Structure 1
Amino acid sequence: MRELVWTGFMSVDGVVYSPGGRVEGHRSGGWVMHTPFVPEAFSLKGEELAETSALMFGRRSYEAFAPFWRDSEDHAAYKDLHKYVVSTSLDDTALVDGWGPTQILRFTDDVAALRDGDGGAVFIHGSADLARRLADADLIDRYNLLVFPVILGAGKSIFSHADRDQHRLALRESDAYSNGVTKLVYDVVR
C-alpha cells in the first residue's frame, strides 16, 4: 500500500489558502513571505523529496503549480516524478507539456485504488478541497505541516468543519524555529 501525505503551509488557525501571494485569491495572500526566512524552517520540504515517488494535485493547484514548477530550478527534482491530478473537468489537452508523466484521476475511488497499489509515498501539495475529500474518505495517511505564526480568520482549510467521527493523529516529529514557524508531522491513527 502507498502512503498518501498532505504537505503544506498553514496558518495557526488552519488556513492553507494563498500562502505564496494574492494572485491565489486570499486578500492576505503571501503570508509565508511575511515571515523571516530561516533555512532550517523549510528543511522539511527538502527531506520530503527523498520519500516522494509521485505528486498529487487537485485541478486548481495543478493549474497554479505545474507551469511554474516545470521551469523552476527549485523544483527540478519533481520534473520526472509521476503526477496525478484529481479532477472531473480537466482533460488531457490541459496537461502541462514537459513536466513528466501525468495522469488524471476522476474520483475518490480512483485515489483509493492508487493508494492500495504498490509504490512509494504520494505527496499532495496545496489542493485544500481535495485534501478534505480524501481525509473524509479516510485516505490521508500523514500530514506534514509547517505552521506559520499568523492568524488569517478566513480561507480554505484542509480540515472539514462538519460534524464527523474523530480522526486520531500520532505525532511523528516536531520542531520550532526562531521565526515562529512550527513543523508538525502527524500520522493518522487507524
Structure 2
Amino acid sequence: MRKLIVTEFISVDGIAEVEKLPGVTWSDEMQRFKEDELADSGAMLLGRTTYEIFAGSWPSETGDFAERFNALPKYVASTSRKALDWKPAELLEGQLPEAVSTLKQGSGGNIYVHGSLSVAQELLRHGLVDRVRLLVYPGAVGQGKALFPPGEKVELALISATPFSNGVVALEYVPQMAKA
C-alpha cells in the first residue's frame, strides 16, 4: 500500500505560509532533504491553489530535479477546476477521503502532499496521513495559516530530527491516528 506523506515548510510556531517564513539561505542539506523526498515520490497530491502555483512555475524550470518533479503524476483536489495543463495530472473525483483511500490502495510509489494546507488538514482529520515531514524555519511569525489548526489535537510520534547548519530543522513524524 502506498503511503501518504505531508511535507511542509513551517515556522517554529507552526505557520505554513512560505511567504511569511523567516529568510533562510537554501542549503545543500535542505536540497538533499528534498532530493530524498523526490526519490521516494510516486505521485503528488495537491490542492487547487498549490497546483496553480506549481503549474505556473515548475514547467519552466530546468535540470534533473525539475525534470523528475514535473514528470510525477499529479492528483488535484479541486471543485472549481475543470482542466489541468501541467501533465501528467488528473482531477480527483468524489469526496477527498474516499478518493485518497483509493489512491493509497493503488501502485506507483508514495504520494506526497506539498503545501495544500486544507487538503493536508482534512487528510490528517481522517487518519489518512502516514508521515508528516517538516522543514522548520528558525523563527516565529506570529500569525498566518497553521498546518495544525487551533483547537484540533494531532498526536505525532517523532521518527527523526535533523538540524541543518542554517538553523532549519528537518522533522519527521508518524501521526498516531493514521490508519494502516
1:77-112 deviation line (CA, Å, top 9, x unaligned): 1122110000111112xx12xx33111014212122
CA RMSD of aligned residues (A): 1.7
Name 2:71's counterpart in structure 1.
80
1:186 aligns with 2:164: no
Please state whether the residue corresponding to 1:162 is helix, strand or coil.
coil
Amino acid at match of 1:16: A
Q: Give the number of equivalent residue pairs.
A: 173
Please state whether the residue corresponding to 1:6 is helix, strand or coil.
strand
The alignment's TM-score, normalised by the length of structure 1, stands at 0.83
Please state whether the residue corresponding to 2:13 is helix, strand or coil.
coil
Please state whether the residue corresponding to 1:155 is helix, strand or coil.
coil
1:137 aligns with 2:151: no
Name 1:26's counterpart in structure 2.
none
- Shift, 1:188, TM fit: 2.2
Measure, in 2, the Cα distance between the counterparts of 1:167 and 1:151.
20
Please state whether the residue corresponding to 1:186 is helix, strand or coil.
strand
1:91 aligns with 2:67: no
Contact 2:45–2:112 under 8 Å retained in 1? yes
Identity of aligned residues (%): 36
The alignment's TM-score, normalised by the length of structure 2, stands at 0.88
The more displaced of 77-86 and 34-43 is 34-43
1:101 aligns with 2:107: no
Name 2:139's counterpart in structure 1.
150
Structure 1 residues 116 and 41 mapped into 2: Cα distance closer, same or farther (>3 Å)?
same
Amino acid at match of 1:43: R
Amino acid at match of 1:36: T
Measure, in 1, the Cα distance between the counterparts of 2:37 and 2:15.
22
Please state whether the residue corresponding to 1:66 is helix, strand or coil.
helix
Measure, in 2, the Cα distance between the counterparts of 1:116 and 1:159.
26
- Shift, 1:66, TM fit: 1.2
Measure, in 1, the Cα distance between the counterparts of 2:36 and 2:116.
20
- Shift, 1:63, TM fit: 0.6
Name 2:155's counterpart in structure 1.
168
